[in-house]
């Protein structure tokens, strides 16, 4: 599939696992990606790396998917302004590596919304390094027990 002029992509899922299709990487004008799961359990989302080559991507919304929070800065979404996570399940790696995002990665991120993410215990380290962040909204995450020291 070749859709170079698409600016908004909405994927409605209802499967237990889903690999983002590689053709997303060819949508060079893409500004908004919304991935929503309507199944009973969170969808294990893979192949997020296809989002890395989208120069105009400004907003990403994940709903009821399972992802690894530590992989988000590795996507190098340099123009991303808003990240929304709703009813997400976070698969955490065994060893969290400290990842410096302050200079290059996520340099435009201004807003993070996290809502109803029940297994979120603490924020990943990279959140405290996003210097452009203006709004951090965390609601209904009942297991969240501490914030990072670098968040002011």
One digit per residue, pLDDT tens: the chain, 152 residues? 888 899 999 999 999 999 999 999 999 999 999 999 999 999 999 999 999 989 999 999 999 999 988 888 888 898 999 999 999 999 875 455 555 555 556 789 999 999 999 999 988 888 888 889 999 999 999 999 877 776 75
- 67, 48 Cβ separation under 8 angstroms: yes
Residue 48, sorted as left (phi over 0), alpha (psi -120 to 50) or beta, turns out to be alpha
pLDDT score at 94: 44
| Polymer length in residues for the chain | 152
pLDDT score at 49: 93
Which two structure tokens, joined as six digits, stand for 150? 């670098």
For 33, what's the count of Cα atoms within 13 Å in the CB-facing half-sphere? 25
Which two structure tokens, joined as six digits, stand for 85? 């996570």
pLDDT score at 38: 95
pLDDT score at 100: 55
pLDDT score at 19: 96
pLDDT score at 107: 86
Which residues, including other chains, have CB under 8 Å from residue 103's CB and lie 6 or more apart?
A: none
């Amino acid at each position: 599939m070749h859709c170079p002029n698409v600016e908004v992509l909405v994927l409605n899922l209802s499967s237990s696992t889903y690999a983002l299709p590689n053709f997303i990487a060819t949508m060079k004008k893409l500004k908004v990606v919304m991935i929503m799961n309507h199944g009973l359990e969170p969808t294990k989302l893979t192949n997020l790396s296809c989002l890395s080559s989208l120069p105009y991507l400004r907003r990403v919304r994940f709903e009821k998917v399972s992802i690894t929070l530590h992989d988000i800065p590795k996507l190098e979404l340099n123009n991303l302004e808003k990240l929304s996570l709703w009813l997400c399940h976070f698969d955490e790696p065994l060893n969290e590596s400290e990842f410096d995002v302050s200079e290059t990665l996520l340099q435009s991120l201004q807003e993070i919304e996290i809502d109803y993410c029940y297994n979120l215990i603490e924020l990943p380290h990279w959140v405290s390094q996003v210097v452009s962040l203006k709004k951090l909204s965390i609601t209904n995450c009942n297991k969240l027990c501490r914030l990072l020291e670098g968040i002011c």
